Structure 1
């Protein structure tokens, strides 16, 4: 009995468990275990024509944990580090072990910074996109209202605030740009 001073009961024997639970211990005999041949190390059984696979070339220095001496032979390149977010990621890998919360918190912060960087980048290229992240376009084109009402969805309560949260940075950015342009024009007149 947990949380008491009583001595716990001894575990049941294999025979008692087998009698009480149908199929219990079916894999105790190695002849009945399908994974037994795979548990034995025999390099000849793998069928691989190499001892160590050919390494993928590194086009730029990749992040690697301080626990590992080298990258795996093949690695992902879906999000190459760039800008401030890339510097934050490189710092997290260079400075902290993967076992530390600081490592993961820096990576999470770098993701948020990457989102901000991509929004600024798209605005500077002349293609700001304040509509798609809010989901407003999908609401209109993909039966958003019909999918929300009368279905018992739990996310209905926060959906109105989602559009506000997504729009506030764009509105504040627009106000800041407007104020900056106004100030520059005023300074040129003087």
Structure 2
């Protein structure tokens, strides 16, 4: 029986020396000496001038005033995106998330998710008003769920996400469900008013 058997409760742990490792493994420790490391000149502060860098902190991109940033940070990052500016109700919700709550707070992320959902609902309504409504059945995969063995593909597998499959249609289509529910309430109210006459 050797002294390196894995079946004893507390096997002895002997750390080999650098010389033993170098003798046993070809090339081991080749980067220990900074003179042998090609990355050392690039990483050294003195060699920074050779790369052409002439700043300690990059110049701030214009338009940083009023930009949303986490409360943990003193200022906006030197470069930031401007392709999707915050606007409307969704933008107001996102601004509250950045202005009031730290990234470590659940409220910060829930408000960002809420802003995203409001943005999606707003775009769906505006697209429908422009005559280009979403194709709900095709785009949400409802047809594939019906024809693709939805129960068997989840229950007879080792997938862990099958439990929230029942909620996925609600999460993806809550805007449409709310719109249909609102339309039903309006129709019922009108019907009641007409019956009351």
TM over 0.5: same fold?
yes
Distance of 1:21 and 1:173 partners within structure 2: 68
Q: Residue 68 of structure 1: which of 73, 76, 79 is its match? A: 73
1:104 partnered with 2:109:
yes
Over the aligned positions, Cα root-mean-square deviation in angstroms equals 4.1
The structural deviation recorded for 1:13 is: 1.2
TM-score relative to the length of structure 2: 0.62
Change (3 A) 1:73 1:126: same
1:44 partnered with 2:52:
no
The structural deviation recorded for 1:171 is: 5.3
The structural deviation recorded for 1:57 is: 2.4
What is the aligned residue count? 173
SS at the partner of 2:66? coil
TM-score relative to the length of structure 1: 0.64
Which consecutive residues of structure 1, in runs of 5 or more, have no partner in the other structure? Answer: 140-144, 146-152
SS at the partner of 2:115? helix
The structural deviation recorded for 1:41 is: 0.7
Larger RCO, structures 1/2 (Cα 8 Å, 6+ apart): 1
Distance of 1:125 and 1:164 partners within structure 2: 25
Change (3 A) 1:47 1:100: same
Kept after mapping to 2: 8 A contact 1:88/1:107: yes
